[in-house]
Amino acid sequence: MTDQHAGHDHTPPADQDGPLTYYQTMEIALRELLVEKGVVTADQIRAAVEAMDARTPAAGGRVVAKAWCDLDFKQRLIADGTAACEELGIDMGPTRLVVVENTDDIHNVIVCTLCSCYPRMLLGPPPDWYKSRAYRSRVVREPRAVLREFGTELPDHFDVRVHDSTADMRYLVLPRRPDGTSNLSEEALADLVGRDCLVGVTLPRLP
Amino acid sequence: MNARFGPGDAVRVRVAYPPGHVRTPYYIRGREGVVERVCGAFRNPEELAYGRSDGQPMALYRVRFLQRDVWPDYAEGGGDTLDVEIYEHWLEPTAARESTE
Amino acid sequence: MQEAGRGPHDMGGESAGPVDQAAHDRLMWEKRVDALVTLLGHKDRQVLRVDELRRGIEQLGAAAYDRMSYYERWVASMTNVLLEKGIITSDELGRRMAEVEARQAEEAGR
């Protein structure tokens, strides 16, 4: 990509076929001005995009698999999510992480009704549905109906705990370890843990 | 940090509809719940949102509400709960708590 | 009267249709907007706090909030906050946007 060399950039963005929209034009102009003024550099922008692309839900899966295999780690994770993730070498930045644990009768699900707060350092950017009006509006009021749309049917004896992350904390669901996985390695367990079960709209895959 | 409330305290979210950047969702105003934890002290985002960053940190709480207390017509599980992060200035003790103090 | 004190972003509990689970890949310009927000909010700069970005998004108004895409809201809000703070001016931004458009038209005509 050469289009981040702001200022004298004649390469159209790779994703751009038609004319630029008003806001795409604004982004280019704003970025060029910020680079010229020395507020940010083109290299910093490029590095930030690369760092963002490198963050995937695999980090969250790794944390969960470790917690399933190491009870001491799990306790530390629940006591201080940020510190426990940093133990695994995950850069948490300024994130203050709260880990909420699913059990035999409690299921947790995360939302941000006011915007789209999400544990990006562990899961990468939020999926579109997480940011959607439908999810943000409904999951606080009819969580089981929303979970059903994701194919998640919970037995009646479960309590559903919805967490609205409105302020400074970010949330990660620690799913229940699936039955019949006692033989699996930590790496194999991590593969069962997809993004959606870390937000709480699904359960881990079965091996 | 001086936290006015502790885990287990019953609280009510203030009923107020101010203009500006507000971090307490509309749906939870006036509802009663219980402090689940004190998250720590943070500067007030309702001030930070306007570029004023010189304020004192204040306590942020996670408050747990029973869903049926939030939505009178809640039709799902009776034990279902909703946790919301709420800054101290949005909370007041409930009448039940005041009478025991 | 109370509804007047409710912003377009404050939607918890509203009724809405099914959750659309379709995903789109983020476009390069969207990633750059995201990167700029992260960089400007970095503790070494603190040019734009996320609180300010959110306030700016809420101030776009209900019609714009629903019409604009996620990253359109971000870039519009970021720009407005930087204008308020005098980090950029409306005039220089307007001139640069015109230049960007002219460059693009030139390339398209090539």
At residue A59, the pLDDT reads 97
Query: Are B85 and A145 inside 8 Å of each other by CB?
Result: no
Distance from the Cα of B94 to chain A's closest Cα (Å) equals 22
**Mean per-residue pLDDT pooled into runs of 10, chain A (207 residues):** 38 61 98 98 97 96 98 98 97 94 98 96 96 97 98 96 92 97 96 97 94
Enumerate domains of chain B plus CATH numbers: 10-99 (2.30.30.50)
Confirm whether C95 is domain-assigned: yes
Distance from the Cα of A180 to chain B's closest Cα (Å) equals 28
At residue A15, the pLDDT reads 54
Q: What does R_g of chain B's alpha carbons equal in angstroms?
A: 14
Confirm whether C61 is domain-assigned: yes
C-alpha closest to that of A130 among A95, A167, A164, A107: A164
Contacts of C101 in chain A (CB under 8 A): 20, 25
CA A138 to chain centre: 20
Tell me: pLDDT of B100 over 50: no
Distance from the Cα of B93 to chain A's closest Cα (Å) equals 21
DSSP H helical ranges for C16-69:
28-41, 50-58, 62-67
The DSSP bridge partners found for residue C67 are none
Q: Which residue matches tokens 């969580």?
A: A143
Confirm whether C75 is domain-assigned: yes
Per the structure block, which two tokens stand in for C1?
Answer: 């009267």
pLDDT tens digits, B9-53:
999 999 999 999 999 999 999 999 999 999 999 999 999 999 998
Confirm whether C85 is domain-assigned: yes
Query: Are A114 and C20 inside 8 Å of each other by CB?
Result: no
DSSP H helical ranges for chain A:
22-36, 42-54, 58-69, 71-79, 81-87, 120-123, 128-131, 133-138, 143-149, 186-190, 195-199
Q: DSSP label at B51?
A: T
pLDDT tens digits, B48-66:
999 998 889 999 999 999 9
Q: Which of C46, C55, C85 sits opposite B49 (nearest CB)?
A: C55
Domains: count for chain C: 1
At residue B90, the pLDDT reads 98
pLDDT tens digits, C18-73:
999 999 899 999 999 999 999 999 988 889 999 999 999 999 999 999 999 999 99
Q: What does R_g of chain C's alpha carbons equal in angstroms?
A: 17
pLDDT band at residue C109 using 50, 70 and 90 as cut-offs:
confident
At residue A207, the pLDDT reads 87
| Contact between residue B42 and residue B58 where contact means Cβ atoms under 8 Å apart | yes
Confirm whether C13 is domain-assigned: no
Q: Which of C35, C75, C88 sits opposite A52 (nearest CB)?
A: C35
Choose from B37, B84, B90 for mutation: most chain A CBs within 10 A: B84
Active site residues of A: 112, 115-117
Query: Are C19 and A149 inside 8 Å of each other by CB?
Result: yes
**Which chains would you list as touching C if contact means 3+ CB atom pairs under 8 Å?**
A, B
Q: Which of A142, A163, A166 sits opposite B25 (nearest CB)?
A: A166
Total residues found in chain B within this entry: 101
CATH code, C33 = 1.10.472.20
Helix (H) or strand (E) holding C107: helix C90-109
Q: What is the complex's ipTM, to 2 decimals?
A: 0.95
Domain that holds residue C70: 29-109
SS3 A161: strand
CA atoms within 13 A on the CB side of C84: 15
Q: Would strands B32-42 and B10-13 be described as parallel, antiparallel, or unpaired?
A: antiparallel
Confirm whether C49 is domain-assigned: yes
Say how many Å lie between the first and final Cα of chain A, rounded.
40
C-alpha closest to that of C79 among A153, A196, A150, A22: A22
Confirm whether C80 is domain-assigned: yes
Could you tell me if C4 lies within 8 Å of chain B, comparing CB atoms? yes
Per the structure block, which two tokens stand in for A170?
Answer: 């970010």
- The interface residues of chain C toward chain B in range 42-61, judged by CB-CB distance below 8 A, are 46, 49, 51-52, 54-55, 58
Compute φ and ψ for A172, nearest 5 degrees: -135, 135
The whole-angstrom separation of Cα B26 and Cα A162 is 16
Residue type, B10: A
At residue A6, the pLDDT reads 38
At residue B1, the pLDDT reads 72
Tell me: pLDDT of C4 over 70: yes
Helix (H) or strand (E) holding B29: none
At residue C10, the pLDDT reads 96
Confirm whether C70 is domain-assigned: yes
- Determine the angle formed by the axes of helices C28-41 and A42-54, rounding to 10 degrees: 110
